[in-house]
Amino acid sequence: MFFKIFLAAYLLFNLYTFFLMGYDKSIAGKGKRRIPESRLFSLAVWGGSMGILIAMPVWRHKNKKSSFKRNIFTICAGQILLLIFAGRFIF
């Protein structure tokens, strides 16, 4: 039961970060206040890295910023390794 709740929360949070990247892209050329990269990194660390990683090619947003891509990929890879490591003790 816990796993289902965790998975649902994880998916919802990543959907949120995915659409947040799309929103940031939509306001990028309109001169409106943008979402700071620090907030995107915070959301990635808290579990939304996969949503951001998937959103980058879909929305074509932040693709030219190699440091952003590298940092998001590193966070995502670390979270995958952490889940694999934790899963060995849970299952």
Can you give the pLDDT at residue 17?
A: 97
pLDDT at residue 15 in the model? 98
Q: Considering the entire predicted model, what is its pTM?
A: 0.88
What is the extent of the structural domain holding 10?
A: 2-90
Q: What is the pLDDT of residue 4?
A: 87
| 63 Cβ contact list (under 8 Å, min separation 6) | 56, 57, 69
pLDDT band for position 91 (50/70/90)?
low
Q: Is the pLDDT of residue 12 over 70?
A: yes
> What are the structure tokens assigned to 83, written together?
């889940």
In whole angstroms, how far apart are CA 56 and each of 20, 40, 51, 68, 84? 11, 12, 9, 10, 24
**Residue-wise pLDDT tens digits, 25-68:** 999 888 899 999 999 999 999 999 999 999 999 999 999 999 99
Q: How many domains does the chain have?
A: 1
d(CA 13, CA 8): 9
